[in-house]
Structure 1
Amino acid sequence: MKPRAIIYLLISLFVGLMSWEAQNAQAEGQFHQEVSAEDAIRLRILANSDSIGDQALKREIRDQVNAEITKWVGDVESFDEAASTIQANIKELEVIVAEELQNRGISQSYTVEFNTDVSFPTKLYGNIVYPAGLYNAVLITLGEGQGENWWCVLFPPLCFLDMDNAEAKELEQEQEQEPVEEVETSFFIVEMFESLWDRLFG
């Protein structure tokens, strides 16, 4: 086989691989639907510390707050209505926190607020991507707020995915694995060309 034919073959293989990568990226982009921060209301709870008791308190408050807000926005379709409903009833969430602290005999400060610029990491729920950024959110801080925190989506209601350990998972974990796959693919391509070259000229 002539050198020119070999070059044409290698170029064709390279173009084919690039086309496959582009189609794969396009298909993945169509599968994942990215949601704007302006279309979601989220929940973030900061525990006092990482102690067993503080984390148990955080989870109990999480469950009660999510159940209560789900009642408020379960049939709501617009973001504005959901936001105004939650803001109008924020005192009820304070009562939930206060009563849970009292029931456990814990003397601990807390704040419950509806904030428009609460920071969240990227998160994937099924095929719905909530990118990292600042969101409208109910922010609950327990005590010093130094413990592991909890976050989910209140509107549209998606918190149950996290609490049931269903399909929700952090997109960052998937992204950490991608470079390994790219390296493996690159080595495969190199080995393929080396093998082809050895067969032709070895």
Structure 2
Amino acid sequence: MRLNQKAILYIITSLLVLIMSWEAQRSMSVTAANLVTIPDEAIRLRILANSDSPQDQWLKREIRDKVNAEITNWVIELDTIENARDVIEAQLDKIEEIVQIELNTIGSKDSFTVEFNDVQFPTKLYGNVVYPAGIYESVLITIGTGKGENWWCVLFPPLCFIDFANGDAVADAGEEQEQEEVEVRFFVVEIFQTIKSFFA
């Protein structure tokens, strides 16, 4: 009887190891699926807030949403960076108008600039991918002094559903993955304790 109990314990332990291994592989797959790389030919959008005050950061996000929605409509069906570049250059006045409307809406007297040029970006770690510092073709919106926290994304090809500046998309996926891993660990521990109590 003692031998049979040991055999059962061995089988159950082996199954638990297999379950944990499967979960680890699945977690790695989820992480890989959520990594986003920026193509070599891309146009970015970068917005520099006036300061880090709550109001200035809120204004930055309002402008971000309006400008991003408008530009996405322009480039969503384009398949070359040349076409995207031509469309954005032709619509810079429209982008300036959007920014001005948002400033007027809240009664802000901040100055601003809208440029479409080569812009310096710092190194950014996003998930497990490092985006190196460098000069990238971008629409740059500077509000006031432009000394506040910045925000950026990729306009073409359209990747502005991801906040590369803060890594929000990967952070959300990571939180979900971490929760799943915790649940699996608790499940395994509970089974092991149950088995231990049974044989005790």
- TM-score, normalization by structure 1: 0.61
Q: How far apart are the structure 1 equivalents of 2:62 and 2:20?
A: 50
Q: How far apart are the structure 2 equivalents of 1:80 and 1:33?
A: 28
Q: Indicate if the aligned counterparts of 2:34 and 2:170 stay in contact, CA closer than 8 A.
A: no
Per-residue deviation at 1:137? 3.2
Equivalent residue, structure 2, for 1:175: 174
Equivalent residue, structure 2, for 1:194: 193
Q: How far apart are the structure 1 equivalents of 2:31 and 2:175?
A: 18
Per-residue deviation at 1:181? 4.2
Between stretches 137-146 and 113-122, larger displacement belongs to 113-122
Per-residue deviation at 1:80? 4.7
Structure 2, unpaired ranges of 5+: 163-167
Determine which of 115, 118, 121 is the counterpart of 2:121. 118
Per-residue deviation at 1:197? 1.9
Partner AA of 1:5 in structure 2: A
Structure 1, unpaired ranges of 5+: 124-129, 163-168
Equivalent residue, structure 2, for 1:139: 140
- The DSSP-based 3-state class of the residue aligned with 1:144 is coil
The number of aligned residues is 185
- TM-score, normalization by structure 2: 0.62
- The DSSP-based 3-state class of the residue aligned with 2:145 is coil
Between stretches 141-150 and 103-112, larger displacement belongs to 103-112
Q: How far apart are the structure 2 equivalents of 1:86 and 1:132?
A: 30
Q: Cα–Cα, structure 1 residues 186 and 60, in superposed 2: closer, same or farther, change >3 Å?
A: closer
Per-residue deviation at 1:86? 5.9
Q: How far apart are the structure 1 equivalents of 2:37 and 2:156?
A: 12
Q: Indicate if the aligned counterparts of 2:48 and 2:141 stay in contact, CA closer than 8 A.
A: yes
Q: How far apart are the structure 2 equivalents of 1:85 and 1:79?
A: 9
Equivalent residue, structure 2, for 1:127: none
Per-residue deviation at 1:146? 3.4
Q: How far apart are the structure 1 equivalents of 2:96 and 2:159?
A: 23
Between stretches 64-73 and 181-190, larger displacement belongs to 64-73
Equivalent residue, structure 1, for 2:27: 25
Q: Indicate if the aligned counterparts of 2:46 and 2:152 stay in contact, CA closer than 8 A.
A: yes
Per-residue deviation at 1:98? 8.1
- The DSSP-based 3-state class of the residue aligned with 2:147 is coil
